[in-house]
Amino acid sequence: MTEHVEPDPGGRRHRVVVVGGGFGGMPATRRLARMDVDVTLIDRRNHHLFQPLLYQVATGILSPGQISPVLRHLFRKRDRVSVLFAEVTHIDLARKVVVTTTIPGESHEYPYDSLIVATGAGQSYFGHDEFARHAPGMKTIDDALELRRRVLGALELAESVDSEDERRFWMSMVVVGAGPTGVELAGQIKEMATRSLRRDFRRIDTSTLRVVLLDAGDQPLATFGSHLSAKAARSLERMGVELRMHAMVTGVDVGGVTYTGEDHVTETIEAGTVIWAAGVQASPIASQLAEQSGAELDRAGRVAVLPNLTLPGHPEVFAVGDMATINQLPGVCEVAMQGGLHAASTIRRRLDGDDRDVAFRYRDLGSAAAIGRFRAIVEFHGIRLSGFAGWVVWLFVHIAFLTGFGNRTVTMLRWCRSMIGRARPERVFSFGHTGGDLSLPASVRDRVGVRFPEQGDTHWAAHGPVGS
């Protein structure tokens, strides 16, 4: 199959719209910025987000700005790139326009000759959106700050209450989902409590903080294979994280988590803080594209793209990253980045008059997950590393990834302070709750959003915002 895209329609420059400035859209825009095209990058956040380090914002190591460079600033020297802060509400494939809503609620249309859509994925509660209010996920800076507020706020409450039962309640935290995000969070919370906070409190011993990691599967970090999973499980247990595998969560409420275990027995863990790190759901833009192009959607709502990452019948439209599916590739940064670069290169080739259709070929650069201080597991083409060796590779990979973000040196210093030293300098939390993950459906957002006593929220009245 060959495609032809008009190089210079109507004597003007080719217009490329990129939706989403994340790991798919940002590298694509960088490559397009060096070409003779007009690029419009639209994102509903004003920043690119380095999601793999969100847990370090949540646990007081990094500040939000260190992992979220502002998109407008990144492209300040690229005159042909316009950055727009707006939410894309509709893409009309037939009319070739992207429809946006800006913050005051105004609607605009942006016509394109080529379109790259990289709107990523949000949290999935597997049909139980009601869990969201009590168990926030971690997809955005707002989420990380909310988790920071809940975790550190729970310790403040534990310090101040008189009842032993209540103290135990606030000193118990449950993380649902033992993938990389859940493992990293559980490990860091436990480490922070054990190493960094002990001397800050008088009535509680933070090293006794109970951190439980629940998952329905057999082992944590299952995608790394059973050998590394087993090592990760041992590391977590050594750090004092309680692992409960084969645990199917059936309820989350203000009192904690209820789950059914392997033996079909139902158990409840009373906990003042519950964190959801379990599922992902593709951006709703994926289903719009599928509906209009006839492409299929998978169970996570990702649109199935053709081998060159375009949509059936729409060679000018690319879908990349977490919102798209091809060859069962995982939802990770490298897949999104390479997809975005492939789309930009295809546009360049077509504009050069080369209409050959080149299929996307993913180069697997391996995967890594940090478990705690100086402990990580890494898998690269059959090479498996764990412990300190794994951590050195994890460090190297993350420093390399941070290239171009301008925060490498500061981030390195922060890591030294918290890993060699004990510092957690970013512990400020605010009562002005941000409303949670804007990529969540409105129904979920309503539940996560701030509540005031006059709205009849008795739990808020009793405990303040933490745990509400």
Ligand X SMILES: Cc1cc2nc3c(=O)[nH]c(=O)nc-3n(C[C@H](O)[C@H](O)[C@H](O)COP(=O)(O)OP(=O)(O)OC[C@H]3O[C@@H](n4cnc5c(N)ncnc54)[C@H](O)[C@@H]3O)c2cc1C
Sites of contact with ligand X (CB under 6 A): 19-25, 42-45, 51-52, 54, 87-88, 118-120, 138-139, 180-181, 283, 285, 321-323, 331-334, 336, 439
Nearest residue to 194 via CA among 182, 183, 208, 184: 208
User: Toward ligand X, which CB reaches closer, 120 or 451?
Assistant: 120
User: Toward ligand X, which CB reaches closer, 19 or 157?
Assistant: 19
User: Toward ligand X, which CB reaches closer, 181 or 325?
Assistant: 181
Least distance from C-beta 44 to ligand X, angstroms?
A: 4
Least distance from C-beta 329 to ligand X, angstroms?
A: 10
User: Toward ligand X, which CB reaches closer, 206 or 310?
Assistant: 310
Among 146, 184, 191, 316, the active-site one is 184
Torsion of CA 259, 445, 145, 26, to 10 degrees: 110
Least distance from C-beta 115 to ligand X, angstroms?
A: 13
Asked whether 43 and 140 are in contact (CB, 8 A), the reply is no
Asked whether 176 and 257 are in contact (CB, 8 A), the reply is yes
Least distance from C-beta 448 to ligand X, angstroms?
A: 16
CA-to-CA separations, 80 to 15, 16, 110, 138, in angstroms, rounded? 10, 10, 15, 34
Least distance from C-beta 282 to ligand X, angstroms?
A: 9
Least distance from C-beta 323 to ligand X, angstroms?
A: 6
Which residue is closest to ligand X by CB? 22
Kindly give the pairing relationship between strand 114-117 and strand 14-19.
parallel
User: Toward ligand X, which CB reaches closer, 44 or 451?
Assistant: 44
User: Toward ligand X, which CB reaches closer, 51 or 114?
Assistant: 51
Locate 310 and state its tokens.
């375009």
Q: Is 6 a catalytic residue?
A: no
d(CA 263, CA 197): 37
How many residues are listed for the chain in this entry?
A: 468
User: Toward ligand X, which CB reaches closer, 21 or 279?
Assistant: 21
d(CA 111, CA 98): 6
Least distance from C-beta 50 to ligand X, angstroms?
A: 8
Positions annotated as catalytic residues are 184
